[in-house]
Structure 1
Amino acid sequence: MHPLGERLKQMVRLVRRKSHQLLEPERTTVYGADAMLMVLQLVLAEVNKRQSGEFRVALSDVLLAWKHLLMDKLGLRPPDGEAARPERRDVTLEAYEAFLKRSNAVDLVHVLGMCQQLSDDADSEELVSPVELYEFLSGGAEVSDARNSSVLSTPSATSRVRSSQVQSAVRRVFCSYLSLLVNAKDDLALALTLDVPSRALRPHTFTDVKHAARRAGMSLFLTVTSFVRAVQLGGKGYAPAPSDPLRKHIKGLSAFVHFLDNLGDILGETPDPSVCGSKLVCAIRGALVKGCDSRDICAAAEETASQLKEEICQLHQFQKDAAQAAGTGISPARPKAYAVNHATAYGGRDAVKVLLALLDNESVAEPCANKADLLSEDQPALNGIEGISVLTLFRSPEVSTGSSPEPLKKRAQSRLNLFKPKVQPRGIQSQFACTYRDDDEVPLNRVLHFPTLSQVPTHEHPAPKPAPPTSAKSSEIEPILVLRGRNANPIRAPGSDTAVKSTNKRKQADVETENEPPEKKKKKKKQQQQQPMKMNVKTTKKKKLIAGQATLTSFFRV
C-alpha cells in the first residue's frame, strides 16, 4: 500500500458521503491513475485523427502529455528549464473532460477539488496536497524527457513481469464487469469486457457499436442493450432494419447482454451484500476460466476472485460497523425513490454501496510502474485468441481497397502454374468401347450403332466396289459398323459385300411376305418347314474376337 493510500481512501469516502451536493448522479465511477492514462491515450489519438487523419499516438507523446495534464489540472507550475508544453493541450484537456462526462466518471483530481470544497476544519488533516497527488499519479518518477526514458517506454519481457501484467489485466476485467453493474455509461469498462471471454466479437464489432452509439447519442453499453432488446422483443415496427450493421454481430452481442443480465439478477435477488458480491465474483471467474485455456489466466482469475471476495466481506463489515456507530437507536428513514436505483443499475442499495466502495478502493491503488505494459498494443490474450489493447479497439479497422499486392508466395505459385503443361480433357467413351482392340480405329466420342435385320439400307455406298474375293477369308461375314452423324459414311469391313447382299435379299423377302394375304403366308410357311434346311457352312479360319464381341454382335443382329 502506498503511504498516501489510506489518506486517499478517506478523501474519496468524504466525497461519497456528500456527493449529492456536487454531483447529479449518485453512481459515479472514480477513475484511478491507470484509467486516467488510458483515457488520455484515447483522447490524444482522437485529436491526432481530427488533424492528421490517423488514429495513432506515440507512447512518448502520451507520457509527456500526461505530465502536463496533471500540472494543468492541479494548478502546478513546471520547474525551471522544463521543456515546452505540448501543442494542442487545450484541445486535449477539453476532449479528456468530455470523455469523462460521457462515461459518468470523475478522476482523482476532481475528487481532490470536491474534497477541498466539502471539507471543514475537522477533516482538513485528511486532505492530500496537490503536490502529493501529482507524485502519486505520476508514479514518483521524474519524467524530464519521456522520449529518452527507457524504463517507461520499453515493454517488459521477463516471465515474472509478464505474469504480473496478466494479473493486472484480469483484475481490470473483474472490476470492469462490476462497474457496468453500477454505471452503465462507463465506455472504458465495456471496451475491456465486450469480448472477454471470447464471444467471436472482433474490432469490427466494436467499431460498429461505437458508430451506432455516436449516431444515437448514447453510451456503448446502452446502445448494445437497446439493440439486443429491440431484436428479441420488438415487433415489426420496432425491430432494427435488416441493413443495420449490428445485425451481423447479434449472436455475440446477445451473449454479452445475457451475461450482464445474469449478473444483474444476482445483484437484485441476493439481499446479503457479502453473499451477493461472492456470487458475482464467482460468475465472472467461471466465465473467464471457461473461455480461456491459458494456465496463467486461469490462475490469475482464481487468485483475483479470492482477493475480491475477501475485500467485499471486509467492506461490508466496515459499513455495518460504521452504521452501528452512527446509529441513534431510531430506525433509519427510507431512502428516497430517486436515490435507490437512480441512473443505471437496479440492484439492492446495500450491495451497490459495497460495489462502489470496492471500485473506489481500486481507484486509489498504486499506478502501474511500467506505463508501456499498460499502454502498448501487445496485451495478454484474455479472450483466448488475440491480445487487443483499448487503443486498438477504438481505432477503426482499415478497409481493404484491393490495391495492395498479393503475398509473394501466391504470386510465385501463380507464375509457376503458367509453365505447367495443360492436361487435355478426355472425351466421353462409348459404352461399347470395350469390344474394340484399338481405340484409334473408331472415334470413342461417337455412339456406335449395329443395324438389325429389319432395317433396309436406303442408298449404296459411294465408294467403288472391291474386287471379287480370291480366298476363303473374303467370304467371312463381319458386322457393319454404322457411325451416327450428318456426313458419316458406313464403315465396311473387308469382304462384307456378300453379307450386305444377302441381308438385302432377306429384307426384300420379308417385305413381300408381309404384303401377301394370310392364307398364302401359312402355305409358304408349311412348305419351308417340309423342305430340309440347307446350310452352306464353310470351314474358314475366323478372326480372333475380343471377349464379349460375339455376344454383342449376335444380340444386335437378332
Structure 2
Amino acid sequence: MEDLGNRLKLMVKTFRRESHRLLQSERTTVHGADGMLMVLQLAMAEVNKQHGREFKVALSDVLMVWKHLLLDKLHLPPPSSAHLENYDLILEAYESFLKRSNTVDLVDICSMYKQLSPLDLNPEEPVSPIQLFEFLSGNIEPSELPDSSVPSTPCSKAKPCSSKVKMAVRRVFCSYLSLLVNSKNDLALALTLDVPSRSLGQQAFTDIKHAAHNNKTSLFLAVTSFVRAIQLGGKGYAPAESDPLRKHVKGLSDFVQFLDNLEEILGEIPDPSICGARLVTAIRAVLVKGRSSGDAVYAAAEETATELKERIRQLHQIQKQAVNGSGTGISPARPKIYAINHATAYGGRDTVKVLMAMLDEEALAPPWQNKADLLSEDQPVLNGAEGTCILTLFRSPEVSAGCSPEPLRNRVQSRLDLLQPKVRDRVIRSQFACTYKDEELPLNRVLEFPSTSQVPTCVHPAPKLKTTAAVDEQSCFDVEDGASDSPAKPTSKSPNKVQSGARRGAALGPRSANVQNTGAGLGSRKKADIQMQSKCNKRKQADSEQHGGSENQPPEKKRPISVKMSGNGTSRAAGKKKLIAGQGKLTSFFRV
C-alpha cells in the first residue's frame, strides 16, 4: 500500500488530466486546507450579515463548523447529535463561493476521483475519508508524511520551521501565479490587490466588490473592465464621473499593468523553465522594492523565489520525461491547423500546465498549525500599512453616523483647550486707543450715528430749496445788472431770505451730533453768505479796475447817430440792449 503523500498526488493528477469530463473549465484551481478554512470564514460571516448581524465571526465558531463541514462532505458521522445553527446556509454560501471563483477543494477531488478515473483500470479509492479528514484537520504531522518518487514541494518541508512572514510571502507568490492560471479566483485577487502597497485598502476593495456584484462578474473582471474603459473607452464609453472606482484609478491601473507584464512574459517565452523563472523574478522585484536587505520580507522573498524557480524547473523536466518516455501524463496541446494565430493563441500553454502542477502541490501542503495567525488580523505587514486579514478586507467599512463617542483622550484634550485662556494677537493702535475698547463700535454709537442707508424710507423728505450759493450768485447777478434800465436791487439779504434759510436748515435737521442747536447752524450759515458776497464784490472790483468799469457795463459808446427813418416812415431810436452776464468781459477781450 502506497504512502499518503503519493496517493494524494495521484488523486490530484487524475483530476487534472480528466477534469474536462466534469468541469467546464480546464483552468480550475484547487484550494488546500488553508484556503478552505479562509473560504469557510467568509461564508459564515456572510450568513451572519444576512441575518442582520455584523460581518464577522468568532474563531471558535469557525473551527467548530470546520470540523462539522469536513465530516459532512466526507460522509462521516458527525461528532455529536447537536445541530449547528444555519449550517445549511453556511454550506450553500461555501459552495457558491467555490463555484463563483472556479475552484474546488480537496474533498471535492476525492469525491470525483472514481468518476474521473479510467474505466478499464477500476482502481480503488486512493485516500480513505478518515485519512483525508485527519490530514485536513492537521492531526498528521508533516514529519509523518513519507517522501514520494516526485520531489516534494518545498512548502511542505519548510512550513513548520518557517516564520509567519515567510508563509505570507509565499502565499502572495502563489496568488499571483494563480491569477495567471485562473483569473476568477477572488481569494487570490484579495491577497494580491494591495501587495505591494497601491493605496487600495478596504474601501477600494469594497467598491470593487460592489461593482462585480452589480455586473455579475468576478473581481478581476470588474477591475480590468474598468481600467480598459478608462484607457480605451474615450468620452462616449468611459465610466461616469460618479463611479466609485474613479477614486482608485491610479492603484487599479498599476495592478492591471503589472498583471499585463506577467501575461506578456507568459506569452512570449515558450520554455516553461525560463518563463517561470522570469515570472517569479518579476513578482520578487515588486515585493522587495524599497526594502533593505535586512528586512524580514526581503529575506523571505529571496528564499521563496529561489525555491519556486527550482521547483518549476523540476516539474518541467518531469513532464518532458513523461511525454517523451512512456507516453503517459498530460500531453501538450496540439495547435489547430485552421487557427489563424495558433502560435500566439496557444503561447505559454506549456508554462500554464507547469504552474498548475506546482499550485496543485501547494494545495497538498499540510495546513498551517496556528489557525489564529491564519484567520485573525495579526497578519504580517507586507504592503506598508496595517496588517489585515481576509475577513477584514471583505467586510464593508463602517459608515460613521456621527453619534459614536470620541476617544477619552480626544475629549479630555478638547476640554483643556476650551479652558485654556486664549491669547489675542497684539494689534498696533493709535495714540487715541484709550478712547475705545473693542475693534467694533458699540451698539449705542451705531444707533446714534446711523448711515444714510439706515434712514427710514417711509418718511417723506422736505422739499429741496435753493442752496445759499445759488441765492448769493443770483444776488450778485442782480447787482451787476444794476446798470440796466431796471431799478437797482439791494445787495444785502432781506429778512425774508434769512428766515427762509433758517426754515430750510430746520427742515433738513442737523447732520452731525456735534451740532447742538439750530441757532449755531444759522450763525454759521450767515457767515458763509457774508463770505460769498464779499468774494463777489472783490471780483467785480478787480474787473472794474482792469477794464475801467463794471464787468457788465458796455465799453465806451460812440456818439449817438441821428434818427434813421424806417420803411414805414417811423423813426426808431437805437435803444440799449440788456447784456447777459459776462458779455462785457468777452467783448473787451475780442476787441481789436
TM-score in terms of structure 1 length: 0.71
Quick check: 1:207 aligned with 2:197?
no
SS, match of residue 289 in structure 2: helix
Counterpart position of 2:362: 362
SS, match of residue 236 in structure 2: coil
Counterpart position of 1:98: 96
Counterpart position of 1:440: 434
Quick check: 1:324 aligned with 2:313?
no
Report deviation, 1:167: 0.7
Alignment of 1:450-489 (within 5 A): 487=512
Matched-pair contact (CA < 8 Å) for 1:198–1:383: yes
Q: Distance in 1 between matches of 2:96 and 2:533?
A: 108
Report deviation, 1:75: 1.1
Alignment of 1:43-442 (within 5 A): 43-78=43-78, 82=80, 84-120=82-118, 122=121, 124=123, 127-140=126-139, 164-290=163-289, 295-327=295-327, 334-335=334-335, 348-421=348-421, 429=429, 433=430, 439-440=433-434
What letter matches 1:306 in structure 2?
Answer: T
1:327 to 1:445, Cα distance in 2 relative to 1, 3 A: closer
Structure number with greater CO (CA < 8 Å, separation at least 6) is: 1
Report deviation, 1:89: 2.1
SS, match of residue 30 in structure 1: strand
Q: Distance in 2 between matches of 1:375 and 1:70?
A: 18
Q: Distance in 2 between matches of 1:165 and 1:207?
A: 27
Q: Distance in 1 between matches of 2:224 and 2:387?
A: 25
Counterpart position of 2:40: 40
1:376 to 1:418, Cα distance in 2 relative to 1, 3 A: closer
Matched-pair contact (CA < 8 Å) for 1:200–1:252: yes
What letter matches 2:171 in structure 1?
Answer: R
What letter matches 1:282 in structure 2?
Answer: T
1:277 to 1:488, Cα distance in 2 relative to 1, 3 A: farther
Matched-pair contact (CA < 8 Å) for 1:281–1:305: yes
Count of matched residue positions in the alignment of Structure 1 and Structure 2: 447
Residue deviations 1:70-116 (CA, integer Å, cap 9, x gap): 1111111235xx36242322222221111110000111111112222
SS, match of residue 213 in structure 2: helix
Q: Distance in 2 between matches of 1:132 and 1:262?
A: 42
SS, match of residue 18 in structure 1: helix
Report deviation, 1:161: 8.7
SS, match of residue 434 in structure 2: coil
Report deviation, 1:410: 3.4
Report deviation, 1:336: 5.0
Matched-pair contact (CA < 8 Å) for 1:197–1:291: no
1:220 to 1:488, Cα distance in 2 relative to 1, 3 A: same
Q: Which deviates more, 63-72 or 415-424?
A: 415-424
Report deviation, 1:22: 1.7
Counterpart position of 1:18: 18
Q: Distance in 2 between matches of 1:97 and 1:338?
A: 39
Q: Distance in 1 between matches of 2:251 and 2:289?
A: 16
Q: Distance in 2 between matches of 1:192 and 1:399?
A: 24
Matched-pair contact (CA < 8 Å) for 2:19–2:116: no
Q: Distance in 2 between matches of 1:139 and 1:52?
A: 34
Report deviation, 1:304: 0.6
Q: Distance in 1 between matches of 2:132 and 2:240?
A: 50
Q: Distance in 2 between matches of 1:190 and 1:381?
A: 17
Report deviation, 1:426: 6.9
Residue deviations 1:184-242 (CA, integer Å, cap 9, x gap): 10000011011111001110111111111111110000011101111111133321121
SS, match of residue 367 in structure 1: coil
SS, match of residue 381 in structure 1: coil
1:37 to 1:185, Cα distance in 2 relative to 1, 3 A: same
Matched-pair contact (CA < 8 Å) for 1:104–1:186: yes
SS, match of residue 410 in structure 1: helix
Q: Distance in 2 between matches of 1:338 and 1:34?
A: 44
What letter matches 2:42 in structure 1?
Answer: L
1:351 to 1:163, Cα distance in 2 relative to 1, 3 A: closer
Q: Distance in 1 between matches of 2:338 and 2:107?
A: 27
What letter matches 1:53 in structure 2?
Answer: R
Matched-pair contact (CA < 8 Å) for 2:270–2:347: no
Q: Distance in 2 between matches of 1:335 and 1:355?
A: 20
Residue deviations 1:130-162 (CA, integer Å, cap 9, x gap): 1111111111179xxxxxxxxxxxxxxxxx999
SS, match of residue 51 in structure 2: helix
Matched-pair contact (CA < 8 Å) for 2:203–2:397: yes
Matched-pair contact (CA < 8 Å) for 2:72–2:78: no
Q: Distance in 2 between matches of 1:326 and 1:511?
A: 136
Report deviation, 1:486: 6.4
TM-score in terms of structure 2 length: 0.67
Matched-pair contact (CA < 8 Å) for 1:46–1:55: yes
User: Where does the alignment leave 5 or more consecutive residues of structure 2 unmatched?
Assistant: 142-158, 441-468, 470-509, 516-529, 547-592
Report deviation, 1:306: 0.6
Residue deviations 1:360-390 (CA, integer Å, cap 9, x gap): 1111011111111111121111111111110
Report deviation, 1:323: 1.1
Quick check: 1:5 aligned with 2:30?
no
Report deviation, 1:292: 5.4
Matched-pair contact (CA < 8 Å) for 1:31–1:108: yes
Matched-pair contact (CA < 8 Å) for 2:208–2:223: yes
Q: Distance in 2 between matches of 1:370 and 1:339?
A: 51
Report deviation, 1:413: 3.6
1:317 to 1:166, Cα distance in 2 relative to 1, 3 A: same
Counterpart position of 1:534: none
Residue deviations 1:240-283 (CA, integer Å, cap 9, x gap): 12111111111111111111111111111111111111111111
SS, match of residue 38 in structure 2: helix
What letter matches 1:112 in structure 2?
Answer: C
What letter matches 1:487 in structure 2?
Answer: S
1:424 to 1:25, Cα distance in 2 relative to 1, 3 A: closer
SS, match of residue 237 in structure 1: helix
Matched-pair contact (CA < 8 Å) for 2:18–2:117: no
Report deviation, 1:351: 0.8
Query: What is the RMSD of the two structures over their aligned residues, measured on CA atoms?
Result: 4.0
Counterpart position of 1:555: none
Matched-pair contact (CA < 8 Å) for 2:32–2:362: yes
1:363 to 1:424, Cα distance in 2 relative to 1, 3 A: closer
